[in-house]
Structure 1
Amino acid sequence: MKDKLIAWLVTRILKLLSLLSYSSTQKLGRVIGRALWLGDSSLTRVTKVNVELAFPDLEQEQQQALIKASLTETAKLFAEFGAMWEWPTEKALGLVKSVQGKELFDMASEQNKGLIVLAPHHGNWELVGLYLSTLRPMAALYRPPKIKPLEDYMSKVRGRHGSELVPTTKRGVIRLFSILREQGMVGVLPDQVPQGSGGIFAPFMGVEANSVKLVSRLIEKTDCLVLSLVAMRREDGTGFDLIFRKADPDIYSDDLYTSVAAMNRTVETCVRDRPEQYQWEYKRFKDARKGSRHTYG
């Protein structure tokens, strides 16, 4: 009953947010971000730890500026969820102002191979998934929400343009292998902390972090290609620039550690371009070797 109530509240909030104009979501995000910065929330504390671990060479004043900016950008992301999940596809995609590197996607699609698109927690990854689903059929790997009643809603909105939602289960992983062998496209969030035996320690932003092995295993077994795609929020608040990039070439290595480290470097390339738009509020280093399992207190 409690989960149903929470799910109802979440969906109502999203529907209310969807009534806002995009410029209003940006203003709301700035207000929420400032409140987080002035307070002592868990999001603020996690962001502080992550920035200090990932950017140890920055002066304290620079770290503080990045923490403040990250909180604001993540608050904007939350405010944008109403638009991403409730707006008609055409209206949401109207926020895309440019697409850089689209030729990389076109060339990969002509190779008669499967394609993995890495979409890290950078900018607005929900827009990335929506955009990709309009280019060609795709499957998106996702971790089912802890609040079970939300799963049906999430599956409906994320799959409204035909995307196949594949859960992070044994059956789901088998499905991904099948899709890639059939020269299909799969979208993956590559920077989630893996569960159980699904990870290997590899450097990410200079920290030995628990990192997913799945992408490397998929490449090894299906000989697929890999690109990354992010949706960067424009500073003038008018929309997004989408950027395709090639994956680090070592991602195709037969050596698991080398491949996973290259996947992490692929994400790093995205992050270092606009570090404030990375979701530093996520406990990416909770299983890191440096800082121990008590990294976040």
Structure 2
Amino acid sequence: MIASLFNAASKAPLPLLHRIGALLGWVTWCASPTYRRRLAANIAQAGLPAATRRLAVVSAGRMVAELPWLWCRRPDAPLGDIVRWEGAEHVEAALARGRGLVMLTPHLGCFEIIAQAYAERWGGQRAMTALYRPARQPWLRDLVAQSRNRPGLETAPATLAGVRQMIRALRKGGTIGLLPDQVPPDGLGVWAPFFGREAYTMTLAARLVQQTGADWLLLACERLPGGRGFVIRASLPDEALPASADEPDAERLAVRSAGIVNRAMERLIRQNPGQYLWGYHRYKAPRALAEPAPAPASDASA
């Protein structure tokens, strides 16, 4: 039943989905006191005006409503003019160097479309491998797999095997996509400031760059008003990640690196705060790890 509704919604025009999504966002806001408190608290923690709440509520609803259109889109149907790139020269330069590319984006705007847009434009040159957590519901798991298994786009599960897959891809000059502002399992992160408050932050993003010598870029996708499409912006980081030779203490290296990644995500979010998922429980304690923590890259490639 749910899968049928999802497929039916995928055929609706994007402007209509966004209008429905705005309503859905307000329904969620009214129905969940926990969501209201968390969204308001996270926005206040970032020092942003209360007016950001209204934009964030609408944006979160639109994000959910556009997923049927995005996930059920035919693999051979081009995005075309609905997606516009800014800063594409940074991606081109990194791919030309051939050292591998790590692309980091926060949960901002239509972040789901970035992987598809990259695959359409550069997937034939260097495939992208995107990290994901399989959904628990079988119908949703199948839809996500359909969305993310496209020409030029591969997926890696959030497991030790997935980490090894990403390392191999980078060493072959491939591209990796990560969302570093989600809370990792216990043992796979460190506590680092995020908008002035300690947040458990993944170490994987920085480690992939440091241990493979890959380039890294920041990506953000803005959802245009009226369902007119999306703008994906690629930019260079403001700060370089420290090398292990600069910081021999592994724990201090991880904390410094996580802080740099968090500040990079903050910069992107502040550029378009109304489209960030402020309702996400970013400051929660990590859950227990289901399997041993990934080994260092030098061992994982064996």
Give your verdict on TM over 0.5. yes
What does residue 33 of structure 1 align with?
25
SS at match of 1:210: strand
What does residue 70 of structure 1 align with?
56
Preserved contact between residue 116 and residue 186 of structure 1 (Cα < 8 Å): yes
What does residue 98 of structure 1 align with?
84
Residue 249 of structure 1 deviates from its aligned partner by 2.6
What does residue 267 of structure 1 align with?
265
| Aligned counterparts of 2:78 and 2:193: Cα–Cα separation in 1 | 35
SS at match of 1:110: helix
- Matched AA of 2:95: S
What does residue 112 of structure 1 align with?
98
What does residue 291 of structure 1 align with?
none
Aligned in 2, Cα 1:241/1:90: closer, same or farther, shift over 3 Å?
farther
Query: In percent, how many aligned pairs have the same letter?
Result: 29
Preserved contact between residue 33 and residue 68 of structure 1 (Cα < 8 Å): no
What does residue 291 of structure 2 align with?
none
Aligned 1:1-297 pairs, distance under 5 A? 9=2, 11-55=3-47, 58=48, 62-63=49-50, 65-89=51-75, 93-94=79-80, 96-134=82-120, 135-136=122-123, 137-148=127-138, 150-254=140-244, 255-287=253-285
- Matched AA of 2:65: A
SS at match of 2:61: helix
* TM-score normalized with structure 2 length: 0.84
| Aligned counterparts of 1:96 and 1:78: Cα–Cα separation in 2 | 18
- Matched AA of 2:181: D
- Matched AA of 2:216: V
Instruction: Point out where structure 2 has 5 or more consecutive residues left out of the alignment.
Output: 245-252, 287-302
SS at match of 2:6: helix
| Aligned counterparts of 2:15 and 2:43: Cα–Cα separation in 1 | 28
Moved over 4 A (4+): 89-92
Residue 39 of structure 1 deviates from its aligned partner by 4.0
Aligned in 2, Cα 1:160/1:112: closer, same or farther, shift over 3 Å?
closer
Aligned in 2, Cα 1:274/1:172: closer, same or farther, shift over 3 Å?
same
Residue 132 of structure 1 deviates from its aligned partner by 1.3
| Aligned counterparts of 1:18 and 1:41: Cα–Cα separation in 2 | 30
Aligned-residue CA RMSD (Å): 2.0
SS at match of 2:106: coil
- Matched AA of 1:259: S
SS at match of 1:287: coil
| Aligned counterparts of 1:76 and 1:107: Cα–Cα separation in 2 | 33
| Aligned counterparts of 2:81 and 2:37: Cα–Cα separation in 1 | 32
| Aligned counterparts of 1:121 and 1:283: Cα–Cα separation in 2 | 12
* TM-score normalized with structure 1 length: 0.86
Preserved contact between residue 108 and residue 221 of structure 2 (Cα < 8 Å): yes
The 10-residue stretch of structure 1 (73-82 or 45-54) with the greater mean CA deviation from structure 2: 45-54
Instruction: Point out where structure 1 has 5 or more consecutive residues left out of the alignment.
Output: 1-7, 289-297
